[in-house]
Structure 1
Amino acid sequence: MAETIALSKILRVYEKEKTDAQKAFNQSITLFEEVANQLYTLLKRKEDAESFYDSNVEKEVPIEKIREQMIYIERLNKQIINLQAEVNKARNVMNFKQMKLKDAHIEMKKFQSILKHREMSKKEKEKKDENLAMDEISIQQHIRS
C-alpha cells in the first residue's frame, strides 16, 4: 500500500514536469510565431521596396531618390539577415522544448503503466487472499457439521 502511494507521488511529480514542459513548449511556439511574423513583414516590406525601386528606375526619377531606395533596401536586407538568425534560434529552442515535452510524456506514461500494473497485482493478491479465506471458512464449517 505504501509502495503504491509513493509511486502515486512520483507520478504526480512527473505529471507536473510534463505540464511545465507543455507550458514551455507553448511559449516557445508563441515566440517562434512572433519572430517568424516579423520576418514575414520585413520580407514583404523589402518586396514592396524592390517593386517601387524597379518602377522608379524605369521612370525619370532623381538619382538621389533611387539611391535612398537602395540604402533602404540594403538596411532591410541586414534586418532580414538578423531576423533569420533569430527565427533559426527560436526554431531550435522550440524543437528542444518539444523534445523535453516528449521525454516528460514518456516518463509519465512509464510511471502510469508501473502504477497500473502494481494496482492490478495488488487486486489479484487481495482476490486470491479472499478466496483462500473463503475456502478456509468453508472447510471450518464443513468440519463443524
Structure 2
Amino acid sequence: MASIQAFHKIRDVHENDKLAAQKTYQQAVKNFEEIAEQLYLGLKKKEETEEQLHEKITGGTLTAHHFAQMQHYITRLDQQIMQLQPEVNQARNYMEKCRRKMTEAHVEVKKFDKLIDRKLKQWQDSQKEIEKKQMDELSLQQFLLERNR
C-alpha cells in the first residue's frame, strides 16, 4: 500500500505540472488572440481605406493632397501589418508549443492514474488471496477441532 501512496504523490506532482501547463497555454492563447486581433484590425483598416480611396478616385472627388495622405496612411498600415505578421507567427508557435506540453502533462497524469489503478487492483487481489488463505486455515482448524472431539 505504501507504493501506491508514493504513486499518488508522484501523480500529484504531475497534476500540478499539468495545471501549470494549462495556465501557460491559456495565457499563450490569450496573447495570440490579442496579437492576431491587432493584425486583423490593421488589415481591416487597410482594406477600408483602400475602398475609400477607390471610391473617391472613381467619384472624382479626390484632391492630390488627400490622395497623398491616404497613400501615406496605407503605407503606415502596411508597415504595421508587416511588423505584426512575425509576431503573430511567433505567438502561434509558442501557443502550439504550450499545447504540446499541456498534452504531454495530461498523458503523464493519465499514465499514473492507470498505474495506480493497476497497483490498487493488484493489492486488492492479494488481499482477497490472503483472506481466502485465512478462511481455508480457519476452516481446516475447525474441521480438526470437530474431529478431535
Q: TM-score range by the shorter chain?
A: over 0.9
User: Cα offset for 1:34?
Assistant: 1.1
TM-score, L = length of structure 2: 0.94
Secondary structure at 1:72 match in 2: helix
Q: CA RMSD in A?
A: 0.9
Equivalent in the alignment of 1:67: 68
User: Cα offset for 1:61?
Assistant: 2.4
1:62-101 → structure 2 map (5 Å cutoff): 62-101=63-102
1:46 aligns with 2:36: no
Partners of 1:78 and 1:124 in 2: CA distance: 69
Partners of 2:63 and 2:138 in 1: CA distance: 110
Partners of 1:65 and 1:21 in 2: CA distance: 51
Equivalent in the alignment of 2:13: 13
Native 8 Å contact 1:11 1:112 kept in 2 = yes
Unaligned runs of 5+ in 2: none
User: Cα offset for 1:55?
Assistant: 2.0
1:138 aligns with 2:133: no
- Tell me the amino acid that sits aligned with residue 118 of structure 1: K
User: Cα offset for 1:37?
Assistant: 1.1
User: Cα offset for 1:85?
Assistant: 1.1
Partners of 2:63 and 2:23 in 1: CA distance: 54
User: Cα offset for 1:60?
Assistant: 4.0
- Tell me the amino acid that sits aligned with residue 14 of structure 2: Y
Native 8 Å contact 1:56 1:66 kept in 2 = no
- Tell me the amino acid that sits aligned with residue 104 of structure 1: A
Partners of 2:94 and 2:31 in 1: CA distance: 10
TM-score, L = length of structure 1: 0.96
